[in-house]
Amino acid sequence: MDATSKIVKDKVVIVTGAGRGIGQAIAGMLAAEGAKVVVNDIGTSVHGDGADVKPAQQTVDRILAAGGDAVASTDSVAQWEGAKRIAQQAMDTYGRIDGVVNNAGVLRDVIFHKMEPDDWETVVNVNLNGSFYVSRAVAPYFRKQESGSYVHLSSTSGLIGSTGQANYGAAKLGLVALSKGIALDMARFNVRSNVIAPSAFTRMTETVATTTDENRERLRTRPHIPAEKNAPLAVFLMSDLAREVTGQVFYSRNNELILFSQMRPLRSIHMAGGWTPAMVAEHMFPGFQQNFYPLQRSRDVFKTWLP
């Protein structure tokens, strides 16, 4: 392929949460690579409060100024009717939909025993339900044209774990199961679905609590990773070059691209006559214990696994 070719030329891609940060970077690179982009963002705070139409339009203005093609959408992904309007806007404007990047997300970080139902529901509604709503709203168009690509933005907070993010982690790990379900169900229509866990210094990461010496030191020494570092993988997954890539989980970490393992049986133990609780303690526990995973956070894993 010629180095100057635009790998998503004339594809129509919806990018949610594209008013700022990683979503904006992905939308911009998609447009630079020839895509027509529906820039969706309702302009809330990182906690899901308020609304502002300016971020989506500012991203569109940047794309247009660079010679690209984009339109702003300010409907909420967290509502089924809003998701349907996003899909309909893409069809009304461009006549088709080729891809969806589910990037919209909010944070409500709080230690679990202090987490309120609203903290849980707000995060799950945007990060997980919103991704389902938009994906489902687009599915009939993908089915009819027998093609399409989904990319869902997860997080190592879900894939591995982070303190104070039970709500966010649950929603982000839920995206992995959602993506796999879509990949399996939509494969017959040549529709692909993959996950990216991004890494970047954005306004969302700036909200991480700094109430402990550990967190303050971590934020002080954390490398600055631009949001744009995550865009190339997402754009590739939207392209026909990725036609054989589906059901996968990737991690983008500065200049590294990582493929994650997925849940598979690790060890098994059989008792012909069945089990009692005491027998589980006597046989299963010592047999499995050496393979138990330690209680680690994402920063623990990547501090020790990579230089």
d(CA 239, CA 98): 9
Q: At what angle do helices 21-32 and 231-238 cross, to 10 degrees?
A: 50
According to DSSP, residue 210 is labeled -
Using left for φ > 0, alpha for ψ between -120 and 50, and beta otherwise, residue 72 falls in beta
The contacts of residue 23 (CB under 8 Å, 6+ apart) are: 15, 16, 17, 41, 101, 103, 104, 153
Instruction: Identify whether 168 is a catalytic site residue.
Output: yes
In this structure, what token pair is assigned to residue 56? 């989506």
Any bridge partners for residue 24, and if so which? Answer: none
Catalytic residue, candidates 94, 133, 150, 168: 168
The total number of residues written for the chain in this structure: 307
Determine the Cα–Cα distance for residues 47 and 123; give it in Å rounded to an integer: 8
**Which residue, 210, 208, 213, 203, is CA-closest to 109?**
208
Q: Return the number of other C-beta atoms located less than 10 Å from residue 138's C-beta.
A: 24
* Phi (first) and psi of residue 76, to 5 degrees: -85, 130
Query: Residue 258: phi, psi to the nearest 5?
Result: -125, 135
Residues 6+ apart with CB under 8 A from 90: 12, 14, 38, 96, 97, 138
- Catalytic positions are 168
